[in-house]
Amino acid sequence: MTELEDSIHGVQEYQGFHYIFTFSTILAAIPLIYMSPTVVVMLKIFKSCRSPSHWNTAHSMNHNIYVVIMLYFLFNTLFFIFDYLNFSLPATGIFTSWCASIQPNHYFKLIFLFTFYFNYCILILPFLLCLIRLIILIYPRDHPAICSKIMRISIPSLFLIPIFCTSFMIPAVGYCRKMGSPLQFGAVYIYYAGGWLGANSFADQQEQDSNLSELNPLCQLL
């Protein structure tokens, strides 16, 4: 059976834990303050750029750049949501008692997996954006055809490369793991165990701040 290091599942102290308001709750609320207006602004940009009159103007944004920017916004938002569910919200202790009373499962694993999946997407998109802008500068007349070919290759790769880099987590299970000092008792975060080839040692070395590329050397190609 896979060892669940620092697991809180079935631990009576955590099953009987009662949430109390701490500084961790304040820290968890701060991102919601700045993310909400960010989403509103980006949705307005999305709505305005979809207008036919926008694309008929001489100074309209290049269509390929627009697609990359919107994808970057989408994946940043999704990364924020899953990272929030992975670390910030569990650290408040709101779900600690519930987590301790259930079994490790694949749903928790998906939260952890998607956090890193969307993080890889975020790493790829700036490179793609710079590449498209460079093509526009170097080939001012032929860039539509060149960028179109690049996008046909890049968009599928954008989804496939992160799948490859996170595939080692497919057989794993997710579980709630206790956090240490300086956070108070009851703070937890979601982690996983049982990945292919025992690929979870990076957290033992650097905990939450470790770099996933150290886990899978092929991902360093990104």
pLDDT digits 0-9 by tens, 185-200: 888 999 988 877 655 5
Cα–Cα distances (Å) from 26 to 3, 92, 150, 213, in that order, read 33, 9, 44, 31
Nearest Cα residue to 78 out of 44, 121, 45, 107: 121
pLDDT of residue 38: 85
> Looking at residue 57, what is its pLDDT?
54
DSSP for residue 17: -
Angle of the 63-83 helix axis to the 23-49 helix axis, nearest 10? 160
- The confidence score (pLDDT) of residue 199 equals 53
> What is residue 20's predicted lDDT score, i.e. its pLDDT?
86
User: What integer pLDDT is reported at residue 160 of this predicted model?
Assistant: 94
List, for the chain, all residue ranges whose pLDDT scores fall below the cut of 50. Answer: 58, 201-222
- Predicted local confidence at residue 210, as pLDDT: 41
pLDDT at residue 75, as a whole number: 94
Q: How many H-runs (helices) and E-runs (strands) does the chain carry?
A: 9, 2
- Positive/negative CA dihedral, 181, 79, 202, 104: positive
pLDDT of residue 121: 94
Q: What is the pLDDT of residue 221?
A: 43
pLDDT given for residue 60 in this prediction: 60
